[in-house]
Amino acid sequence: MKHKLEIGGELDFLTKDELDSSLDRMEGIWRSYAKGFKRFRLPVMRGAVVGGAITLGSTNVPEQQYVGPRPGWVWRLTRLSAAGLVSTPARATVATAAFAAGAAGTATLPAGSALTGFDITTAAPAAAVTATVTVSNIFNGPYVYDLTEAVATGGMLSVRYPNPQFAPAGGPTVAIAATAGGAAGHINAYGTVLASVDQLAVYVGEPGDARFMNLLTATAPTWTPDNSAILLPGDYLVASGSALGTTTPVTVSGEVIEAPAEEIYKVLAG
């Protein structure tokens, strides 16, 4: 619609029909963009920790929740959260053992402990003797020491390690060998269990031959990725952890944006 101005210029206005047609086209563009595009919460993956380990979402584990886009669709992860993980503070451990005169004695720290030192004391023997002390079940071990038992004062061997001595499995052991003429005594072994933080590794596909995504930990249980966390048709999520301190069930939840696979640009920009 045109209107003639007194100054001699012209303005071109849309008629109602022209305006309605333009709005309809714009609405159609937005409807097309929004079609099939939605946000939703993922099914919750949950399971029990067995022997300090757990795997969620694996197709190799019976009765696991499958979490992945349906055929012909793509996802972009916007949030993943883990619940049930724990942080375990460092703690001291001690093992003690008494041994009879002339007999052997052994003190073994609890599994998972690292040896920080030990003390061995004996009563005074009838005659001076030297006993053999062995520290075993440690990396770079065993360590062997001599303990002299004097007639007047007995025996005393005190050792402290500047760095904790870790065991390949189980706990370190401090032992005194049986010694003819040796006196009775005690062994005190000192250790520490280091602080630990439970963590789950998140993969697309099975661990070992899959794409690693991120870690969910007891201290950082939520991940909000950027727009590169894309799952294509056939992809699925797996969360796996080992050496966990938690004894309660673990769950993983999250949110995604979904769109048809041929319109993947929608999730990249959503």
Instruction: Extract the tokens encoding 35.
Output: 């079609």
Q: What is the pLDDT of residue 34?
A: 54
81-90 pLDDT, tens digit each: 999 999 999 9
C-alpha neighbours within 13 Å on the C-beta side of residue 245? 16
Q: What is the pLDDT of residues 129-180, one digit of tens each?
A: 999 999 999 999 999 999 999 998 999 999 999 999 999 999 999 999 999 9
Mean pLDDT by 10 residues, the chain (270 residues): 55 68 61 68 95 92 88 96 95 97 97 96 96 97 97 96 95 97 97 94 85 95 94 95 94 95 82
pLDDT of 207 reads 78
**Distance separating alpha carbons of residues 23 and 213, to the nearest angstrom:** 43
Reading the block at residue 79, the tokens are: 């949030």
pLDDT at 206: 86
Contacting residues for 50 by C-beta, under 8 A, at least 6 apart: none
What pLDDT does 94 receive? 98
Query: How far, rounded to the nearest angstrom, does the alpha carbon of residue 150 sit from its chain's CA centroid?
Result: 52
pLDDT for res 26: 66
Determine contact, residues 36/263, Cβ cutoff 8 Å.
yes
What pLDDT is stored for residue 33 in this prediction? Answer: 53
The dihedral built from the CA positions of residue 56, 58, 63 and 68, taken in this order, carries a sign that is positive
Q: Is 137 left (phi over 0), alpha (psi -120 to 50) or beta?
A: left
| Confidence at residue 36, expressed as pLDDT on a 0 to 100 scale | 63
Place of tokens 């012209």: 10
Q: What is the distance in angstroms between the CA of the first residue and the CA of the last residue of the chain?
A: 39
Is 0.85 surpassed by the pTM of this model? no
